[in-house]
Amino acid sequence: MRILLPFQDPYNRPLTHPVVSGGTEQFCKSIIDNFDTTVYQFPIEHIGWKKQSEKIQISNNIINIAEAIKADVIVCNFAQAVFNSQTLIKSNIPIMFVEHCVYPIPNTIYRWNQGIDRGHSMFLVSKWQEKKYKEMAERTNIRVLPIAGYINPSYCKVKPKLVEQEYDCGTIGRCDNGKSPFKLKTMTKDTDIKSLVITSKTQVNSDIKYFERNKAWKDTVWDLSYKEVMENISKCKTYFSTWDKETWGITSMEALSCGIPIILNSDKDGDHASEIIPAHDSHYIKIPRDDKDALIKAITSFDKINRKEIQDMTWEKHSLEKWKSQFSDAVSKTVDNFKKLN
């Protein structure tokens, strides 16, 4: 199969950059590493679509490139912005939209439904994410999104040795108000817990204040390559997923792949999307949202965990072969469905 992959990065990094900006970018790297893929990258500044002409131009570029390379499918990962374009929805090449986020914008679902009616396919990454969209659709009296299925954003890639652990708990996340990686620091402040934050400097104006407030914390590492991220998180006894609105949680999988049990900061309903990632219930604990005492208790509860068991079972559940098969099936479903409706 031949894929066109339109791509945006929050820091305008190319996919060849050693620093991986986030889960969507890791998903895109996984695609180009394993399939016949042409990348079309355009600046993140266009995500706001302030000008209708910009939106139309980018959408036309996507369609023209896909036709020129004779793509079998267009895989898009920024569905809110681009699927709002009627130009792209009219594409005669099937589009496989993979949404990684939750946007509280009713118009988003309305446009997605138009694209699905045209024959394109929408995939989400978790049932937790689908639940949020269904709630929004019902609340705003919009037709509930008929998704084509779910797709895991990535697979286990780097298997560090089980080294001696220097930290009681670690976390990974962009330095922004959403991911809030320094929540680990504030929730363990004035305790005996030694923690590590693995993050990257922000280039987004709305997050600069968060960066300034937190840049001085000790035991924080910045802008590491993917390999270095994995080497550092493997030094931690536990991993804390700070964000209660994760839609899947690649970093949780990465921690588990190093043999590290995970602690999930639940949403207001007591749920967390990353519950589906561990290979066994004993490999994770959920805590009530932002509950400091529960976090400390969870960190200390994993003292006698079998790291090798966690690592081996995670690599089995999230293998490259299983991911490639799932992704290929999703592409085939997208193409077949488009042909039936067109």
Confidence of residue 12 (pLDDT cuts 50, 70, 90): confident
Task: For residues 218-228, give the mean pLDDT.
Answer: 94
Q: Tokens 């190093």 sit at which residue?
A: 258
Q: What SS3 string covers 135-169? A: HHHHHCCCCCCCCCEECCCCCCCCCCCCCCCCECE
Distance CA 181, CA 178 (A): 9
Of 101-115, 276-290, 317-331, least confident by mean pLDDT is 101-115
Q: What's the confidence (pLDDT) of residue 110?
A: 81
Q: What's the confidence (pLDDT) of residue 78?
A: 64
Q: What's the confidence (pLDDT) of residue 51?
A: 67
Is residue 122 within 8 Å of 145, Cβ to Cβ?
A: yes
Closest CA to 279 of 236, 225, 319: 319
What is 273-321 written as a DSSP string?
GGGGSSSSGGGEEEE-TT-HHHHHHHHHHTTT--HHHHHHHHHHHT-HH
Q: What's the confidence (pLDDT) of residue 311?
A: 97
Task: For residues 32-48, give the mean pLDDT.
Answer: 83
Copy the structure tokens of residue 137: 């659709």
Q: Across the chain, where does the E strand assignment appear?
A: 2-7, 36-41, 73-76, 95-98, 121-124, 149-150, 169-172, 195-199, 220-222, 239-241, 262-265, 284-287
Report the percentage of the chain scoring pLDDT > 70: 95
Over 70: is that where the pLDDT of 211 sits?
A: yes
pTM for the structure as a whole = 0.92
H/E stretch holding 59 reads: helix 52-68
User: Which comes out higher in pLDDT, residue 218 or 54?
Assistant: 218
Task: For residues 107-121, give the mean pLDDT.
Answer: 86
Confidence of residue 54 (pLDDT cuts 50, 70, 90): confident
Task: Bin 81: left if φ > 0, else alpha if -120 < ψ < 50, else beta.
Answer: alpha
Is residue 34 within 8 Å of 105, Cβ to Cβ?
A: no
Confidence of residue 203 (pLDDT cuts 50, 70, 90): low
Q: What's the confidence (pLDDT) of residue 323?
A: 98
Q: What's the confidence (pLDDT) of residue 23?
A: 85
Is residue 90 within 8 Å of 115, Cβ to Cβ?
A: no
Confidence of residue 46 (pLDDT cuts 50, 70, 90): low
Task: For residues 127-152, give the mean pLDDT.
Answer: 90
Confidence of residue 160 (pLDDT cuts 50, 70, 90): confident
Copy the structure tokens of residue 173: 């996340």
Over 80: is that where the pLDDT of 81 sits?
A: no
User: Which of the listed ranges 67-71, 106-110, 304-308 does the model predict with the highest average pLDDT?
Assistant: 67-71
Distance CA 79, CA 151 (A): 15
Closest CA to 188 of 175, 169, 216, 212: 169
**What digits encode the pLDDT tens for the residues 281-323?**
999 999 999 999 999 999 999 988 999 999 999 999 999 999 9
Q: What's the confidence (pLDDT) of residue 220?
A: 98
| Sign of the torsion formed by the C-alpha atoms of 111, 114, 116 and 120 | negative
- Calculate the alpha carbon distances from 169 to 150, 200, 262 in Å: 30, 18, 9
Q: How many helices (H) and strands (E) does the chain have?
A: 13, 12
**What digits encode the pLDDT tens for the residues 262-280?**
999 999 999 999 999 999 9
Domains, the chain, with CATH or none: 2-154+320-341 (3.40.50.2000), 169-317 (3.40.50.2000)
Task: For residues 200-212, give the mean pLDDT.
Answer: 83
